[in-house]
Amino acid sequence: MTISMRAPLQRALVVGGGVAGPTVAMFLRRLGVQVAVLEARSEAAGDAGAFLGLAPNGLQVLAELGLGAEVRARGAACAGLRFLNARGRCIGEIDHRDHAQRFGAQMVMIRRAELHRTLMAAATERGADCRFDARVVALAERPGEVVARLESGEALAADVLLGCDGVRSRVRALALPSSPAPAFTGLCDIGGFARCPGAPLEPGWTVMTFGRRAFFGAFAAPGGEVWWFHNNGARETMQVVDPEQRRASILALHAGDPPWIADVVRATPTLLGPWALHDIMTLPRWHAGRVCLLGDAAHATSPSAGQGASLALEDALVLARCLRDAADPPAAFARFEQERRVRVEAVVRQARKNGDGKAPAGPLAAWFRDRMLPLFLRLGAAAQARFYEHRVEWSPPAE
């Protein structure tokens, strides 16, 4: 079917109110587009998503929207990462303290719920119609428009529909049904927030421990909270339903690791997750007709490169710019995919590689890792610098 859409873009539906959704809505509002953001969660969903790190490349998109200072104030700067072996010895470090100078911003750690609230509130202030409890269950294309049907039965129409609904995207399944399923990375994730004054953590630093049987990350937030995550490879973790059994299984996996890890896990009122981590190395097409995917829906990346949210922010700016500049939405979607694919696929590959390195190692492999990690970190820092220094621009380049 040939689609002709010469008229200027007037109405957009954005499915998903996570990271990409409210951000693309804000850029579209700049263009005067009437935007509805449809989010399945209820507004009071709380801390369902633990926390994440926003890298310099993502923070520059928030700065473009005038939200940089607010996000920094709601989160906390990350001074860097320290890596420990299972005996608690520091075997490597990545220092972020010169990143403001090198990359224009220093990584910010932020609770996911806080980031979602900030973005949805800012999009609402800028005139987007942000709705919670609005799960999209079906799509249809009609001449001149695309229609989304909500679980409530309500139908909404627009010129374009942007799928920002994450790794398990319903929009992807409906609009691009032959897309490959996301792949399991081999890692499961559980996290939480604890007060554990005895933990030997320096405020602002993230400590990553290669435990004997599982990996543990802990960020010492200002105010004395520890924000932590635990990764292990066992899918069975996902099947443990009782929270106390789950806690017991994490404690068992960290038996013999630095004892403060168990203290932090015990001091956590509510365990968050578990999440089976999936990624999408390459999706053959990101758009069909009036529908385009962005963020995790198009290129889900495992958390191990700390880039998924930042890529979603970059996508939002680039897609809105393409819609501003291209002759019609299909041309904009094609340009967007062409501009983004190589970069995001490189990040997804790197994140998978980083995640593979978290797998428990036997004594010989652990001995080798402890000695080689500083070299691997130096090599990894070069790749990381390429991710951090990437810039997406809203304004056309000066003539």
Ligand X SMILES: Cc1cc2nc3c(=O)[nH]c(=O)nc-3n(C[C@H](O)[C@H](O)[C@H](O)COP(=O)(O)OP(=O)(O)OC[C@H]3O[C@@H](n4cnc5c(N)ncnc54)[C@H](O)[C@@H]3O)c2cc1C
Regarding 187 and contact with ligand X (CB under 6 A), the answer is: no
Q: What is the dihedral of CA 179, 180, 186, 191, to 10 degrees?
A: 20
Least CB distance to ligand X at residue 16 (A) = 3
**DSSP E strand boundaries for the chain:** 11-15, 34-38, 51-54, 76-77, 80-84, 90-95, 108-111, 129-131, 136-142, 145-150, 155-158, 160-163, 183-195, 205-210, 215-220, 225-232, 272-279, 287-288, 291-293
Render 220-264 in DSSP notation, one character per residue: E-TTSEEEEEEEE--THHHH--SHHHHHHHHHHHTTTS-HHHHHH
Which range, of 98-106, 165-173, 179-187, 244-252, touches ligand X by CB under 6 A? 165-173
- Residue 176 tokens read as 């691009």
Exposed, middle or buried: residue 145 (CB in 10 Å: 0-12, 13-18, 19+)?
middle
136 or 156: CB nearest ligand X: 136
Q: CA-CA distance, 328 to 161, in Å (whole number)?
A: 14
Exposed, middle or buried: residue 88 (CB in 10 Å: 0-12, 13-18, 19+)?
middle
From candidates 9, 13, 14, 19, binder to ligand X by CB under 6 A: 19
* CB-side neighbour CA atoms (13 Å) of 160: 33
Number of residues near ligand X (by CB under 6 A): 34
From candidates 9, 12, 13, 21, binder to ligand X by CB under 6 A: 21
Regarding 312 and contact with ligand X (CB under 6 A), the answer is: yes
Tell me, residue by residue from 39 to 78, as one string, x for binding to ligand X by CB under 6 A and - for no binding: xxx--------x-xx-------------------------
55 or 261: CB nearest ligand X: 55
| Strand bridging mode 108-111 / 51-54 | antiparallel
Tell me, residue by residue from 219 to 248, as one string, x for binding to ligand X by CB under 6 A and - for no binding: ------------------------------
15 or 91: CB nearest ligand X: 15
Q: CA-CA distance, 316 to 307, in Å (whole number)?
A: 14
From candidates 164, 201, 226, 323, binder to ligand X by CB under 6 A: 164
Q: CA-CA distance, 65 to 45, in Å (whole number)?
A: 25
Which range, of 164-172, 201-209, 342-350, 360-368, touches ligand X by CB under 6 A? 164-172
Which range, of 12-20, 153-161, 233-241, 354-362, touches ligand X by CB under 6 A? 12-20
151 or 255: CB nearest ligand X: 151
The enclosing H or E element of 106 equals none
Regarding 310 and contact with ligand X (CB under 6 A), the answer is: yes
5 or 51: CB nearest ligand X: 51
Tell me, residue by residue from 285 to 304, as one string, x for binding to ligand X by CB under 6 A and - for no binding: ----------xxx---x-x-
- Residue 51 tokens read as 């926390």
User: Does 374 sit behind a cis peptide bond, omega within 30 degrees of 0 on the bond before it?
Assistant: no
Tell me, residue by residue from 115 to 144, as one string, x for binding to ligand X by CB under 6 A and - for no binding: --------------------xx--------
Regarding 254 and contact with ligand X (CB under 6 A), the answer is: no
From candidates 92, 274, 306, 329, binder to ligand X by CB under 6 A: 306
Least CB distance to ligand X at residue 54 (A) = 6
Least CB distance to ligand X at residue 368 (A) = 27
Regarding 16 and contact with ligand X (CB under 6 A), the answer is: yes
Answer whether 84's CB lies under 8 Å from 224's CB.
no
Q: CA-CA distance, 36 to 338, in Å (whole number)?
A: 26
Residue ranges binding ligand X (CB under 6 A)? 15-21, 38-41, 50, 52-53, 135-136, 164-166, 170, 189, 275, 277, 295-297, 301, 303, 306-310, 312
